[in-house]
Structure 1
Amino acid sequence: MRETTTGTTVPTHTPTSAAPVAAPARAGAREWLSLAVLMLPVLLVSVDTTVLSFALPQISVALAPSADQLLWIVDVYPLMLAGLLVTMGTLGDRVGRRRLLLIGAAGFGLVSLLAAFATDAGQLVAARALLGVFGATLMPSTLSLLRNVFLDDAQRRLAIAVWASGFAGGSVLGPVVGGWLLEHYWWGSIFLLNVPVLLVLLVAGRLLLPESRNPSAARLDVPSVVLATVGMLPLVYGIKTTAGHGVGALGLGALALGAALVTVFVRRQTRLAEPLLDVGLFRRPVFSASVAANFMASFALAGLVLVVSQVLQLVVGLSPREAGTALLPGAVASIVSGILAVRLARAVPRWALVPAGMLLAVAGYAVAVVVARDVGTAGIVAVFCLVGAGVGLAETLTNDAILASVPPERAGAASGISETSYELGASLGVAVLGSVLSAVYRADLVLPAAVEPGAAHAARQTLGGAMVVADGLPGALGTQVRAAAEAAFTHGVAVTSAATAVALAVVGVAVGVVLRRAGLGRTHDA
């Protein structure tokens, strides 16, 4: 039996030598228009993350969050996504992927309004968490619908490349449009960007997207849903606390609790007849290696956006719009490399291309170590171009490999796992790299003795806080505080970049070895 886009099943017969296998139906104009609609939620997720990073300086001034609150504002959104994506992928298989997509779009729009008008850091964290809940309905639905709309392998691969370019496209639109908004309006206006896009999605999605579901999809196991969601929170909190404040009872306790909950979750999945997470998928080397590559690529990219957005605005001195424009070449590099990946995969084995993309990102972080000594716009642009190109190349091929390694009826579950790796990587990229950067910054920052204790505490929390303190101090004293903060922060950038480069290199080589042993060659050999 096979699944159709309407969710029905039709019988299939094993072909004999006298009956050649019919080629999959090729997509027409309606299917390519559907792809344009499916890119809208991808753009939303990417824009939301990038715009927020550029708005952090204004949020720091307006809401006065602590260092921990500032990180939670950024990463509670991808954290909730990571905890719920598998659940929503399975739910979409059951209730209908288009239906879940449209429900999530409506909720995402309403909560965007709440985020825009938050009056304190706690409210913004809560709104971002709800955005993560509704955002989790969007991403698995888009990728699984794409798998069922584009049946031809070559067309699906191109569609995935275009779909993946939506992330880079969002990083283009976010800083430029968001930067203009931040220069003319208050920080909350960045969330209002979501509303018109969602209105288009709600109308066009109903008209163009076919409904698809898996009639035999597993029922949702409520304890598994709770374990998957709750288990992520203490795990990431433990990582954040340990990285930012050193080894302590609170951080270790959170890590232990999170690990225990995740272990219970995995064991439960192996015993259920209808698991929420099909652990058996990870026994497929191509699937596991591709998920690992996705995780590490998003880890590197999300952490980099967090860092460079602050460097460009607070160290180099660019406006939000100018900082966003400076990242345009990197976003274009990511889009171009993703499209080129489709052609390159016809001539070069994918087991070589995927780690090549990751090693290109390694080169970007290596450049960051060097340019951190004398930060300038040109150096940051070069770093972002290298990392963006590497991530675009790797993720296009890994997303295709993940979908191609499972039957169409499991597209929702596989998409959920794929997107979980992406969002969990983004969350931990922000949490780990942000915490390490903050730890080095606080350890290196030496303030003049004349700075009052209250002001000194604010300066040690974040670089943005230090700039506010410096602006409020007279003449030479303000200059000394600014210089000390910039020196501590750029040293933190160098240390963080070096550590990320090493991690990327190790994972990239390991993924290449696994994919080669699995025989993931050129696309016409797949």
Structure 2
Amino acid sequence: MPASSCRTVDHMSQQHAHNPPGLRAWLGLLVILGPVLLVSMDGSILFLAMSRISQALTPTADQALWILDIYGFAVGSLLVAFGNIGDRYGRLKLLMIGTAAFGIGSAGAAFAPSPELLIVARALMGVAGATLLPSALAVLSELFADPRRRAQAIGIFAAAFAAGFAIGPVAGGILLERFWWGSVFLINLPVIALFLIFAPILLREVRATRPGRVDALSVVTSAVGLLLTIYGLKHAAAEGLSIVPVLVGIVGLVLLVWFALRQRSLEHPLMEFSLFRDRVFTVAIITGLLPLAAWSAAAYLAGIYLQSVLDLPVLSAALLALPGAVILTVTCVVTPFVVDRIGKRAALIICHFSIAAGLLLLLPTAITDGIGWYVASTVIAGIGYGICFSVVADTAVGAVPAERAGSAGAIAETSNEIGNALGIALLGSLAALVFRLQGPDLAPTLDETLQLPDLAPAVVGEARTAFVTGLHVVAAVASVLHVVLGVLALRWLPRAAPSAGEPVLSRPEAAQEVEPRGR
């Protein structure tokens, strides 16, 4: 989460800690929230738009998955690198460049004439989005020197980021009711224009005191390794095993292992793997990844289910997602206050078991009805998703040294973005595999099958049943994974984990210590 970097400029503002923020600070916060909201919204806004895009551009099953998740992979694989670059060359400068590039990518995506060009435009948006999150929070921290006010501003920032993920499908559905599919990208442009006008007036440049050197080889190996690994998995799910995709996937895994080993020998690594020695930090980062994977896969598949199985209009599907979006956002806002009373350990446990319960509520859905089960699922799971955003952010804040916040603090943001993309890539591929094995074998996806001419009602029913079976398998697998992580939280975490605003213990034995709670 973006709140992982909230200590970025503490060392710059100690002498002003008791000065209340003025109008400039709050206006600066408002300006920063614009592009950050867009970055999170664009991670989910296509969930309801993919049916329209499939009709207009006719992408293959593989291309459809890349359209959805190339954005998240680009953001997640480059967040840490751009945190380092911002430390060295200036975060406001990087923020301005990234926002402009995000606008160019949005315009390109809106008018893309083919699936290939849409994938390229989404990739550019992802690269630009990776520049925004760590830099935006660092600049925000400079605006609020007082720790209490800064905490309030970061809480608003984190809630806006969470809300963007949640309302993305809703906003997309509302736009698609009146406009063509490209409108979901064009709405970015006015917000970007306002930011580029007012940011130089309201925001100041921020640099770290000891930025170090950006290891270009680590940037390349992490990004390429991730993309090659996912390509192999996606191709196997969509079309079955073959030599080339398997070899590509193996090369990707080797690159990722090499990336991890290389970080141990670097003076300024892109990823501070030593932080994972602490069990609290490890469980929290996994909490940043797995729930986002489950949420993105469930939201994507549920969007297809509502429109292509139950034949609901896109606006109706969007409005059905609204209760879960509201619950997620409200939970994100109130979680810090609840954690002060029940502790981080209890919050993490509630997070995973509520998501597991919510996902299980998708199992009774059928090809004839399931609206009530879907809404109940999003509401119950939304509690866990909201806790996930807040608790992961708080844990990362406590674990990141101030002088390395722009880079090391991006681990939590990376876990969110990679989780969002992995959910569609891995769990979405699992659903595609089930459809390929149980469907009528006329086309690799439900939407492509339903677009074929002269389909018999029995074939339509078979295709929809196969898709719903894939949805059930994904929900069950994700639910089991959350139960496992909930059990790990019960066993691994101390009964009194650090409360909000307290540093996470960095020693390996920290998981065995118990600290008193209360304020």
Same fold (TM over 0.5): yes
Secondary structure in 2 aligned to 1:389?
helix
Q: What are the superposed Cα offsets for residues 183-208 of structure 1, whole Å, 9 maximum, x if unpaired?
A: 33221121111101111222232232
Are positions 1:467 and 2:445 aligned together?
Answer: no
Are positions 1:310 and 2:288 aligned together?
Answer: no
Tell me how far 1:37 sits from its aligned partner: 2.6
CA contact (8 A) 2:287 2:388 kept: yes
Structure 1 residues 275-286: aligned runs within 5 Å: 275-286=269-280
2:78 alignment partner in structure 1: 84
2:160 alignment partner in structure 1: 166
Deviates more, 1:33-42 or 1:325-334: 33-42
Are positions 1:510 and 2:488 aligned together?
Answer: yes
Distance 2:319 2:14 in 1: 53
Q: Evaluate the alpha carbon distance shift between residue 27 and residue 366 of structure 1 in structure 2; reply closer, same or farther with a 3 A threshold.
A: farther
Identify which of 173, 190, 197 aligns with 2:191.
197
Distance 2:498 2:487 in 1: 15
Deviates more, 1:512-521 or 1:307-316: 512-521
Q: What are the superposed Cα offsets for residues 351-389 of structure 1, whole Å, 9 maximum, x if unpaired?
A: 110221121111110111123475422221111112222
Q: What are the superposed Cα offsets for residues 149-175 of structure 1, whole Å, 9 maximum, x if unpaired?
A: 456555555444422322443256533
1:490 alignment partner in structure 2: 468
Are positions 1:334 and 2:328 aligned together?
Answer: yes
Are positions 1:39 and 2:22 aligned together?
Answer: no
CA contact (8 A) 1:290 1:511 kept: no
Tell me how far 1:46 sits from its aligned partner: 2.6
Distance 2:491 2:382 in 1: 23
1:142 alignment partner in structure 2: 136
Distance 1:187 1:107 in 2: 21
Q: What are the superposed Cα offsets for residues 83-134 of structure 1, whole Å, 9 maximum, x if unpaired?
A: 2111011111111222211110001101111111111111111111111111
- Report % sequence identity: 37
Tell me how far 1:215 sits from its aligned partner: 2.5
CA contact (8 A) 1:5 1:211 kept: no
Q: Evaluate the alpha carbon distance shift between residue 170 and residue 521 of structure 1 in structure 2; reply closer, same or farther with a 3 A threshold.
A: closer
2:509 alignment partner in structure 1: none
- Aligned partner letter, 2:91: R
Which structure 2 residue ranges, 5 or more long, are not aligned?
1-5, 503-516
CA contact (8 A) 1:7 1:213 kept: no
Distance 2:70 2:201 in 1: 33
Distance 1:196 1:486 in 2: 39
- Aligned partner letter, 1:464: D
Tell me how far 1:424 sits from its aligned partner: 0.9
Identify which of 39, 59, 64 aligns with 2:58.
64
Distance 1:326 1:10 in 2: 45
Q: Evaluate the alpha carbon distance shift between residue 25 and residue 232 of structure 1 in structure 2; reply closer, same or farther with a 3 A threshold.
A: farther
Distance 1:194 1:288 in 2: 35
Secondary structure in 1 aligned to 2:35?
helix
Q: Which portions of structure 1, spanning 4 or more consecutive aligned residues, are displaced by more than 6 angstroms?
A: 3-8
Distance 2:45 2:209 in 1: 39
Structure 1 residues 169-180: aligned runs within 5 Å: 169-171=163-165, 173-180=167-174
Are positions 1:48 and 2:42 aligned together?
Answer: yes
Q: Evaluate the alpha carbon distance shift between residue 146 and residue 362 of structure 1 in structure 2; reply closer, same or farther with a 3 A threshold.
A: farther
CA contact (8 A) 1:218 1:275 kept: no
Secondary structure in 2 aligned to 1:49?
coil
Deviates more, 1:374-383 or 1:219-228: 374-383
2:105 alignment partner in structure 1: 111
- Aligned partner letter, 2:300: L
Deviates more, 1:501-510 or 1:489-498: 501-510
- Aligned partner letter, 1:270: R
CA contact (8 A) 1:218 1:276 kept: no
- Aligned partner letter, 1:483: G
Are positions 1:403 and 2:397 aligned together?
Answer: yes
Q: What are the superposed Cα offsets for residues 438-488 of structure 1, whole Å, 9 maximum, x if unpaired?
A: 111121113xxxxxxxxx63xx2211112222xx32xxx542232222111
1:269 alignment partner in structure 2: 263
Tell me how far 1:402 sits from its aligned partner: 0.2
CA contact (8 A) 1:302 1:429 kept: yes
Are positions 1:378 and 2:361 aligned together?
Answer: no
Distance 2:349 2:300 in 1: 24
CA contact (8 A) 2:263 2:271 kept: yes
Identify which of 401, 408, 426 aligns with 1:414.
408
1:93 alignment partner in structure 2: 87
Identify which of 485, 498, 503 aligns with 1:520.
498
Q: Evaluate the alpha carbon distance shift between residue 4 and residue 233 of structure 1 in structure 2; reply closer, same or farther with a 3 A threshold.
A: closer
Distance 1:86 1:24 in 2: 31
Q: In terms of Rg, which structure is larger?
A: 1
1:452 alignment partner in structure 2: none
Deviates more, 1:285-294 or 1:85-94: 285-294
Secondary structure in 1 aligned to 2:494?
helix
Q: What are the superposed Cα offsets for residues 401-442 of structure 1, whole Å, 9 maximum, x if unpaired?
A: 101222222221133221111111111100111111111112
Tell me how far 1:211 sits from its aligned partner: 2.3
Tell me how far 1:246 sits from its aligned partner: 5.0
CA contact (8 A) 1:165 1:334 kept: no
1:356 alignment partner in structure 2: 350
2:507 alignment partner in structure 1: none
2:506 alignment partner in structure 1: none
CA contact (8 A) 1:326 1:381 kept: yes
CA contact (8 A) 2:13 2:142 kept: no
- Aligned partner letter, 2:429: S
CA contact (8 A) 1:307 1:493 kept: yes
Q: Evaluate the alpha carbon distance shift between residue 11 and residue 173 of structure 1 in structure 2; reply closer, same or farther with a 3 A threshold.
A: closer
2:508 alignment partner in structure 1: none
State the TM-score, normalized to the length of structure 1.
0.88
Deviates more, 1:196-205 or 1:417-426: 196-205
State the TM-score, normalized to the length of structure 2.
0.89
CA contact (8 A) 1:355 1:394 kept: no
Identify which of 231, 245, 250 aligns with 1:256.
250
Distance 1:515 1:247 in 2: 40
